[in-house]
Amino acid sequence: MSTQASCRDSEAVALDALDKRIVNRLQEGFPISDCPYAKVAAELGTDEATLMARIDALLDTGVLTRFGPLYHAEQLGGGLTLAALSVLPENFERVAAQVNAFPEVAHNYARDHELNMWFVLATETPERIQQVLQAIEQATGYNVYNMPKKEEFFVGLKFKV
């Protein structure tokens, strides 16, 4: 999983003008109505079948990672946090494998800083966060810096192409 993701995710994909309009438009939201694809297609100057086929292709090539309702993890009763480790280079691959082995670890990134491994933890309950962090500390032998968000500031919809 992890090794495949790192290769596949890094290649830019060529998009034509319609693809770009679709990517931009779909970041702004999608109607909850009887025929939403037809409605959005009309806005973009295309037709329903073309729009659906383009979305399928954008998902297939990985340009879009998701299309649908985006749920707020904490609002659903789960726990979510960002945590970091400062790992010695010689231990990095071992620790990455140990951290990634936890199903609660949703994302994990290597970053160029003394704190060089940053991962997002999503758990079924808020209480479970502490348990998993402790388990990660035990498995890896490293101190975890837990940085749960205290407040989120409004962000608009980005990645204009």
Q: Which of residues 53-82 bind another protein (CB under 8 A)?
A: 55-56, 58-59, 61-78, 80, 82
Residue 17 interacts with another protein (CB under 8 A): yes or no: no
Pick from 17, 32, 89, 90 the residue near another protein by CB under 8 A: 32
Which residue's CB is nearer to another protein, number 45 or number 156?
156
As given in the structure block, the two tokens for residue 10 are 């890094």
Contacts 24+ apart (CB under 8 A), 97-105: 98/136, 98/139, 98/140, 99/136, 99/139, 99/140, 100/1, 100/2, 101/139, 102/132, 102/135, 102/136, 104/128, 104/132
In angstroms, what is the minimal distance from the CB of 149 to another protein? 4
# binding residues, another protein (CB under 8 A): 93
Q: Give least dist CB 43 to another protein, A.
A: 14
Q: Using CB under 8 A, which of 16, 17, 33, 45 touches another protein?
A: 33
| Site for another protein contains 99 (CB under 8 A) | yes
| Residue 157 is a binding residue for another protein (CB under 8 A) | yes
Interface with another protein, residue 42, by CB under 8 A: no
Q: If you ran DSSP here, which 8-state letter would residue 140 be given?
A: H
Nearer to another protein, 130 or 138 (CB): 130
- Residue 27 buriedness (CB in 10 A; 0-12 / 13-18 / 19+): middle
Strand-by-strand arrangement of the 79-85 sheet: 117-123, 79-85, 145-146
